[in-house]
Each structure stands twice: as structure tokens, then as C-alpha cells.
Structure 1
Amino acid sequence: MPEKGGKCLNILMVTMGMNIGGAETHIVELAAALVANGNRVTVASAGGVYEAALSRNGVPHVTLPLDKKSPGALLAARRGLAALLRKENFDIVHAHARIPAFVCGSLQKKFGFRFVTTCHGVFRLSPILKRLSDWGEYTFVVSDDIRQYLLQNYDLNPAHIISTVNGINTEVFSPLHDGSAMRKTFPGAERPTLLHVSRLERESSVCAEALLEAVQILGGKVRLIIVGDGAYAGVLRQKAEQVNDNLGEGTANLVGAKTNVVDYIAACDIFVGPSRAAMEAMSCAKPTIISGSEGHGGIFSSSIEAAALASNFCFRGAGLPTPERLAHEIEILLSYGEEEKKRVGIEGRECILRHYSVEKMVSSYLSVYEKITAYKTDVPSDVVICGYYGYGNAGDDSLLSRIVDGIRRIRPSIGICVMSAHPKKTRRFYLVDAVNRFRLFAIRRKLKEAKLFLFGGGNLLQDKTSTHSLLYYTKMLHEADRCKTPIMVFANGIGPLSATKNIYRVKEALSLAESISLRDGYSFDFTKQLLPEKNIRLTFDPAIQIHPVSIPLPEKPYFIIFPKKNAPDAADKLIYLTGSLQSRQSLTPYLISLYDEEDLEYCRRLSERTGAVLLRPHSDVEIVSLLAGAELAVSSRLHGLIYATAAVCPMMSFSDDGKLASYLDYIGFGRHAAIPCTTDIYTDAEYLLMAAERILLYRDKIRTALRGGLPMWQTLAEYEFSEAVRLIQEAPAHQKNQKKE
């Protein structure tokens, strides 16, 4: 039965082929383990030697031309997959290569399946290939460098890129496996045996070619076995014959594609190769030289373990293997005594046991499978979320991400629709329904079917940017009321409001809400004066729930600035502050843009003038993680302060926007606090520096205060998700009563 009482899932895995390769053995292990856990798995591919292994584990295989890029083959594969999808009600479609992912993606809208992919490596990029690549709703990666490759080259939601491992069956790939019979099948059994396992295409045969030359350098001391097949195998076979002519029959052996790889590993003395094949050899406690077509790592030991883990044992960019380098490292291993060889082998196996269990791999996949099969995106939406979404503002994107995640954490089946400036991107990024925020008739249709209008996050009701914006948001609140959809004003800030008529508009719009929560003290007091009869809650911005994770941090002490272009001389003051903190406090400055449309070019100019490094974090989690290691945050945007609070990082504002000062008042560091952390753009440069140095002087006290307040603030934010779910669940009765009235 499935683990933890989960339901039986029907899963389709789609890949190019099932011949020798790391991705292919990954699929075999994963499919077998999923079936053992009570799930159904079907594999579709062009076929290959691992079909038999799938069959032994109860996994049916469907043969389709998924290994070819020609239009005819792609159409045939698409027709075949469509027929399979019509026949089987798959909960999950899981693609393991770019061609299968492209074909599956073209069918997703029609069949409505949940779609995930696994990225097993980095690929050549071109504008066409980049455009055609479809990484699904969630993407699994087997190493951190693949994650970075995806984030740098594709517009994916970082929260939907999930790390998994190349799970190794350590009971099968074990030092107890006997390789003596296999060892005797090749001539020269008395010589130390080298083994290389790989797909033998031209681009993946760099190590195999270098090994054939290394054997010649070693002058017949060793024999080499190469397991694998591919278009380049013929070339390698000719080179092997030349080696045998020079050094004797059986020195170089190409045996083709084999599924009993463990027998060959058990028969070898030293393994040379990359990625999953190297990990299988290490699991068998064989001394291993990690080397392949993407990079050369050398003899595995604890000293290179971190780099090996980060690159899925590929060492991308570390320099390619050469015959001389391989021959030298083989000589080193040959010189070891039996105890030393055993120690090296055991060190490798312990690494695999720590990091690469099949159980860990399956758990990472099942947790996502089970989560996303509960999501409903093809049914009428239960809640319509309104905010400043789809514009690339990091603060607003954080709000939306936290709101969606918070609601789904309590009730994953709730249907969510977001009003967005870019609905197509929002749908894909958050796995929600989305409607264009300017299409009034479409919005009305969504509101009429919804159980809640969630007016979500940020200072939406203000006239500082323009009255047009205020009119838009108040109109949306009135539209929800006309559609008899209950309204929740969720963790909003109110103001600034300068025009009397706009204050009246806000009062009238807010009076329509069934539930109101506000994220700062000024907004709470102001709204309470407007609507004294309303039950209004003081809450916290949901971004406070972001937790820092372990990421590489700068080595030297540093501080982070979140700039925003405001007064003409604000840049000069920031430049003065940056230079002074560098020289007087030995702090390295970094810049982060929270709203690229307005701030990125400004940050670049500041970087040029100060020498500060402009960081480009991919997510709010990465920002909070960077702040967790910083000595100080200086922010001109509100979410810079909220991120700093979540990271327990001392902070100060530098802004003419009252909501930043109001926020610092709320958390106890306003103008009248014992340690005030608020400055504005009109502050004298010397005073700005003095304020920053005072905060640095008391940084430990500030951290202690932030750490003490954090649990309460996170609890306040969490309550709002429960309130939203309650309103959705109670909405049908509410709406019936309204209709009767």
C-alpha cells in the first residue's frame, strides 16, 4: 500500500528510450519503488534493454518514437500518447527528457493531467529549443547546479523546482555481490580491471576515449571493460582493436549495452566514470575516479564530496579528462595496499548510504505527486484573489505565493483564481486559474461562481501613486458585492490617502467586507476610526513566514541595500553610507532590486558608483537566506524590511513612504523606540551613517528582540489563512441567506 495512507496513484513516465544511461536506471529504480509502494506505473519510450527490468517489477512499457526530433516521429509519439491518455486515467504524467516533455506539454491542456518533469542534466541552449522546452508544473533536479541552470535560463517558479536524488539500491549494488565469474569471462583475469559504463554517443564518450589512451600509457598493466552502446561505439571499437594489437588481446573490451551492470562492477578493481554509474560503483565499495564528458573530479574522497554532491557526480566545468591525468590517478590507486583500497571503497559507499537511498528519492517524488493531485485548476474557483499581481514586483509576488500556499496548506482542493496582468504566466507559475485583471466581464463570471473575494495584500487602497489605482480597487470591491461574493480584506495596508473624497471611497468600499485584517498599526487605527463598528484585526504580512535555508553566503561580513529611486540626492546619500560602512565597519555592500521595472537600472548605476555587487536572487526564500547572514539591511521598500524581520537581520528604512515607518513602529523599532531604525530620504548623510552605526552597535539586542517577536507575528499571519478557508467553507449558506434577503 502507498506510504502514510496515501491514495494509489496512476503514473505515466515518459522518456526517450530505455537503453544504458543514468536517467534510464533512475527511472527503473523509481518505477519499481513506486509500484512496491502500491502505485501503478506505466513507462512510455522508444524502448531498450531495460524493458525487461521494468517488466520484472510489474511496470508495463509502451513503445513510441520518443527518441526522434523529426516532425513525423513527434506526431506519431503525440498520437500514441493521446491514445494512452484516453485509455488510462493518469493522475501524474512525468517526463524525463526534453522531447517527451515537449510532447506531453502539448497534450496537457486537452487531457488536464498534472505534469512534472525531471531534469537529469544541463542541455545545449538555442532560442528555439528554449522556447520549445516545457518543464512542467513541478521540476525535479538531481543536483544543485542543474537547479541553477534552470533558474538562470528559464522563467520557472523556484518553489516548484524540487531537489531529489539518484536513488541507489544499496542492497543490489553491494560489496557482497560476487564478481568472480564475470571476471573470468575476459582474457587476462590476473590484471587489475578498469570499468567504464556510459552511453556511447560522440558527445558522451570523452572519458571512454581518454581511457583507451590511458591504458596504452600504462603499458598493459591493466585491462579495460567498457559497457554501453550508441552511435560512437564503432569508433571506440576500432580504437580498442588498436590497443589490443599493441598490448595484447583482452586489454580493451567493449561489451555493448548490458542490464547486469552490477556483475561488471563486482568484477572490476577500479571504476572510472561519472554520475549514476559512478554512484553505483561507490555503493559496491569500489575505488572510483569520477570523470566524464562534462568534467573530471578525480579519485573520490571526502575532500571532493561536496563538489560531487552539488554536480550529481558530474563535475561540470571542472576541466575534461585527459589520458595523462587518468593514467596518473589509476597509477595512484594501483599503488595502494589492500587496506587502503578498502578504505577508499568504504568511504564511497558511506557517502551513497548517507545521501542516495531509494527511499529518499521516492519520498521526494511522492510528496509532490500527492500534493499536486489535490490541486483543482479545471473547476469553478472557490476564491478570487485580487492584488497587484503579474507585474514582477517581488513584494507582491511574495504575497501571492504565501497566500496560495497558505490556503492550500490547510485545504489543497480549494480552487483558486488570481486577477493578474499576465494571466498565462500566473497560471503556470502558481498552478492556479487566472483572469486578466482588466477584463471586467470575465472577472464578473469568476466572482459569480466564487465563494470568496480575497482582496489580497499590500497597500492597494492609497492615492499616492494615483487616484486611478484607487478607483480600480474600490470598483473591484463593489463588483464583488454586486455579485454577492463575500469579501475578505487580507493583510492590507491602508493609505496614504490625501484627498477627502478618496477617504470616503475607501470607507464605503471597506464597509462591504465581511472580514478585514490590516498589517500595520497606522492602517489599523485609521480604519478603526473610519469603521468603528467593524471587527478589524491587526495581523502581519504573510511574507513573515518565509524561513531561511542553507545557501552559499559571502565570506566577509556584509550588508544589503534594497534601493528605490526617490529624491534626486538619495543616491548620493546611499553612496556616502556605502563607502563609510566599507571603510569604518569593514562591511562589504550588496544591492538587491525588489521591483526590476523601477529599481533595476537604478541599482546598476549605484553598483557602478559604489563598487557594490548587484545580487540577482531567484526567490524570496533566497533573499531571506542572504539576509540571515547579513549584519544590516537598508531598505527603501517595505518588503525589504519584512524579509529582514523574517531573517532576524538588523534593519533600517531609508524612504519617504510612511508605510515603512509605520511597519517599524509596529515591530518596536520606530522613531520613538530605544533603538530607532527609521530614516527618510531627507535625512542628512551624516545622520544616516550615524543611525546605521548605532543599529550595528546594538545588532545583538535587535536580533534578540526580532527573534522574540517572530513566533507571534508568524502566528498572526497563519491565522488569516484559516479565516480565509473558514469563509470559503461557510460561503454557500451565506450566499443563500443573501439571495433570500
Structure 2
Amino acid sequence: MSADSLPLAVLQVLPMLETGGVERGTIEVAEALVRAGFRALVASAGGRLVPELAQLGAEHVALPLASKDPWVMWRNAARLAALIRDRRVAIVHARSRAPAWSALLAARRTGARWVTTYHGTYNEGFPLKRRYNAVMASGERVIAISRFIAEHVTARHGTDPARLRIIPRGVDPGRFDPTAVSGERIVRLARAWRLPDDAPVVLLPGRLTRWKGQEVLIEALARMARTDAVAVLAGDDQGRRGYRAGLEALAERLGLGPRVRIVGDCADMPAALMLADVAVSASIEPEAFGRVVVEAQAMGRPVVATAHGGAAETVSPGETGWLVPPGDAAALAAALDHALALDAAARAALGERARAAVLARYTTERMCAATLEVYRELL
């Protein structure tokens, strides 16, 4: 089959295909592309999700796109341009800054259409950083993953609203379905985490980093009226051993050692959420979207989140969860006590409302359909 007779291709570029929301979204869109009759290509430096991509019928191209070395980025641009020409790529979709600079050059050289997804607020710690970040606002279409991010892009970069498309992240309601999680999976996690029988479980999923608010949760645990709750911090420390040690020391200092579990990465998040009596997003800086909050609501779990960023859009206070000021351990403690005091009927009603809200607005199907509609606009 000649290149001219092949279906049109969309190339997504990102640093690596390890774990995380950006990576998962890339896989989900690639799958939707294949189902819709496109060819789906993903270029990255590789990672544990590459085999999954291949199983979906998409193609992975290994390039050193995690590098921020200017010479490597320049060479990546040439490699991507050759790939675009060779594989008849119609659209290039960048999901991270360093690969985006290479991909932008390649798109300009080849005439491929150009899409970016603005996934975060991106700090500006030194003078040239805003210019470096601006590549994510350069797309012919700029996808913002929340209203919060859309407003940030407009304010920070002066992006024309006509180029912006708000497409919230989504969860798979089949995977995040409380009726689909077996008791065996829940028991397996409870044993692995050495949880005491009948103790209420407060779960904070997220990599171990200060801005995710693990310290705030530990301090809140010490302030709660409920003294038997156990906090589970589920996330990879990604080499931040000093921060992990600090969390352990804080728990010991507050007399909470036996009530704080730092369990590392969790491969079965639906089961973890079913094990939880309440899920927490305690981020002290705004989440661009906050996928954990939506995953918890999809599982019908009570959720407490900080009242900024994407979480302020995905939680209806008192209806699908609670919002508290960022960094406020006392307010978080009060909200957790309130959530744990709900009777069975109130918990069930809140869970039903939360799951219904997710099914209406925040599914992978809706996210992927909206993303493919962006591609079709440009084609």
C-alpha cells in the first residue's frame, strides 16, 4: 500500500510513556483514533505503556523527546519532520513543552496541522520561562483541560479564545465502576497495606511531592475528632526519599505513626477507592484538572478537595463532595469528620449523585470524541 493510500495519521508527542494522566490520555486518544479509522502514532522516549499502545493498534516511535538539550531538541525536529513526511501525518499534537518545541518546528517544515494540550500552569521561575511555556499556547487549536486552565492560558499568553477548546480529562466508567470491583481485590489491598479491621480509611492518591498536600492531611488527621481513622498515602515518591522521610517523621512527631500508611504506587486504583471511606485531594497549589477527584466520584466515594483549580469545577459542595481552603488542616479535619459521620443512606445518595455527574461530563468517551472533533475541524 502506498503512503498516499493510507488513512490519515495523527502524531502525538510527549516525553515518555510511563505513568500519569498525560500518558493515560495519550493512550486513550490513540485508541479512539484507531477506532475512528485514523492511524495513531505516538513519539516518546519510551516507557512501560508502550506495549499497551501496540496492543491497541497504534504505533510507537522512539525518540529522545524527554531531553531539554537544545541540540537534541533540534535533531528531534528533523527526525519528526521526516516521520511526518514518511507516514503521511496530517496533525501533530504536542502534550509537553520540550517535545512541543521540536514538534512545532517539524510541523512548520512539513505543513502538518498543529494542536497543543495545555496540561498545567507551568511555573515561571526565571525570565525566559514564560517564552519556553508559550509553545503550549501556540497551537492552531489549544486544548485546555479545565476552565481554570483556559482562563490561565488567556491571561498568561493572550491566546485568542477562538483557538481555545476546553476538553476536561475523563475516566473510564467501566473500569471505575463500584459494581466491577471484586471483594477479593479489596481484601488483597487491605492486607498489603496492613490496615486494621474496621478502621475508617482516608485515601490520598498522588505522587509524593509537597504540593500534593500529604503534610496537610497528616496534620488534619491529628486534629480530627475521629481518632481511629487511618490515612493512606498512595503514590510513588519518584526518588524524593527526603520528602517521604519527612512525612514519616511528621507522623511520628504527631503521635500518628501507626495511623499513617505510605504505600507507594497503586496499580489497582478502583479497588483502592472502594477500600476508602473518603478520598482526599489536598493539593496546596491548584490542580489543572484533578483526575483523582473525578475517579473517586466515579466510584461513588465521598471526596474532600481543595477549593481551587480544576477541583472547584468538578466538586459540587454538599452534593458530590466538599471543598476546603488549600493548606487548611483544621478545615480538612472538620470535612473529614463530617464525611465519616454520614449514615449509610446519606453516603449512598451522595455516591449516586457523584457518579451521575461524572457520567454526564467527565468520561474518556466524551474526552476522546471532543478531541477527535478538534482534529476534524483542522482537516
Give the TM-score taking structure 1 as reference length: 0.44
Taking the aligned partners of 1:332 and 1:299, their CA distance within structure 2 comes to 20
Match of 2:297 in 1: 282
1:229 and 1:73 mapped to 2: Cα distance?
A: 29
Residue 137 of structure 1: aligned partner = 140
- The answer on 1:239 being equivalent to 2:246 is yes
Indicate conservation of the 8 Å contact 2:207/2:238, yes or no.
no
User: How far is the alpha carbon of 1:96 from its aligned partner?
Assistant: 1.2
**Residue identity opposite 2:354 in structure 1:** G
Letter in 2 for 1:261: M
Deviation at 1:94, TM superposition (A): 0.6
- Paired positions, count: 355
Alpha-carbon distance, 1:95 to partner: 0.8
| Cα gap change, 1:227 to 1:78, in 2 (>3 Å) | farther
Q: Indicate how the Cα distance of structure 1 residues 215 and 298 shifts in structure 2: closer, same or farther if over 3 A, else same.
A: farther
Aligned 8 A contact 1:34 1:40 in 2: yes
1:185 aligns to 2:184 (yes or no) = no
Report the Cα distance in structure 2 between the residues aligned to 1:81 and 1:144, rounded to whole angstroms: 31
Q: Tell me, what secondary structure is at the counterpart of 2:41?
A: strand
> Which residue type is aligned with residue 236 of structure 2?
D
Match status 1:214 vs 2:220:
yes
Instruction: Compare relative contact order (CA 8 Å, sep 6+) and give the higher one, 1 or 2.
Output: 2
Is 1:265 paired with 2:285? no
Say whether residues 1:327 and 2:311 are aligned partners: no
Amino acid paired to 2:256: L
The structural deviation recorded for 1:323 is: 2.5
Tell me the equivalent position of 2:70.
Answer: 71
User: Matched residues in 1 for 2:263 and 2:29: separation?
Assistant: 28
User: Hey, what does 2:3 align to over in structure 1?
Assistant: none
Take 1:39 and 1:260, find their aligned partners in 2: how far apart are those partners?
31
The answer to whether the Cα contact below 8 Å between 1:20 and 1:259 also exists between their aligned partners in 2 is no
Q: Which amino acid aligns with 2:274?
A: A
Q: Is the 8 A contact 1:220 1:251 kept in 2?
A: no
For the 8 Å contact 2:73–2:101, the answer to whether it is kept is no
Is 1:224 matched with 2:223?
A: no
Q: Which runs of 5+ in 2 are unaligned?
A: 1-5, 282-286
Distance 1:292 1:70 in 2: 37
Show CA shifts across 1:243-268 (max 9, x none). Answer: 26843547322313x44322322322
Map 1:581-730 → 2, pairs under 5 A: none
What is the identity, as a one-letter code, of the residue corresponding to 2:141? Y
CA drift of 1:169 comes to 1.1
CA distance in 2 between counterparts of 1:55 and 1:364 reads: 23
Distance 1:260 1:80 in 2: 37
Instruction: Give 1:348's aligned residue.
Output: 354
Residue type matched to 2:128 in 1? Answer: I
Residue 131 of structure 1 aligns with an amino acid whose one-letter code is R
Kept after mapping to 2: 8 A contact 1:101/1:136? no
Q: CA deviation at 1:295?
A: 8.5
Report the alpha carbon displacement of residue 187 of structure 1 after superposing the two structures with TM: 1.0
Whether 1:17 aligns to 2:20 is no
Instruction: Name the counterpart of 2:43.
Output: 44
Alpha-carbon deviations, 1:51-71, whole Å to 9, x = none? 444344333333433334332
| 241 and 154 in structure 1: CA distance in 2 versus 1, 3 angstrom threshold | closer
Cα distance per residue 1:268-322 (max 9 Å; x no partner): 22111261111111111111112389587599445688xx9xxxx9x9xx85233
Comparing 20-29 with 164-173, greater Cα deviation is found at 20-29
Task: Kindly provide the CA deviation profile for residues 591-611 of structure 1, in whole angstroms up to 9, marking residues without a partner as x.
Answer: xxxxxxxxxxxxxxxxxxxxx
Measured after TM superposition, the shift of residue 161 of structure 1 is 0.9
SS at match of 2:176: coil
Q: Distance in 1 between matches of 2:13 and 2:318?
A: 37
Cα offset, 1:159, TM superposition: 1.6
**Structure 1 residues 371 and 303, CA, compared in 2 at 3 Å: closer, same or farther?**
same
Q: Distance in 1 between matches of 2:158 and 2:119?
A: 18
| Cα drift, residue 80 of structure 1 | 4.4
- Kept after mapping to 2: 8 A contact 1:137/1:160: yes
Partner of 2:91: 92
**Which sections of structure 1, spanning at least 5 residues, go unmatched?**
1-6, 374-741
Q: Please tell me the root mean square deviation across aligned C-alpha atoms, in Å.
A: 3.2
- Residues 184, 57 of structure 1: alpha-carbon distance in 2 compared, 3 angstrom cutoff: farther
The 3 A distance-change label for structure 1 pair 153 and 296 is: closer
Is contact 2:319-2:354 (8 Å) kept?
Answer: no
> Of the candidates 150, 153, 167, which is equivalent to residue 147 of structure 1?
150
Give distance in 2, aligned partners of 1:52 and 1:278: 28
How high is the sequence identity, in percent, across the aligned residues? 26
Does the 8 Å CA contact 2:229/2:259 hold for their aligned counterparts?
no
How far is the alpha carbon of 1:174 from its aligned partner?
Answer: 0.8
Q: Distance in 1 between matches of 2:76 and 2:51?
A: 22
User: Match of 2:65, SS?
Assistant: coil
Aligned to 1:730: none
Q: Find the structure with the greater CA-based Rg.
A: 1
Hey, what does 1:161 align to over in structure 2?
164
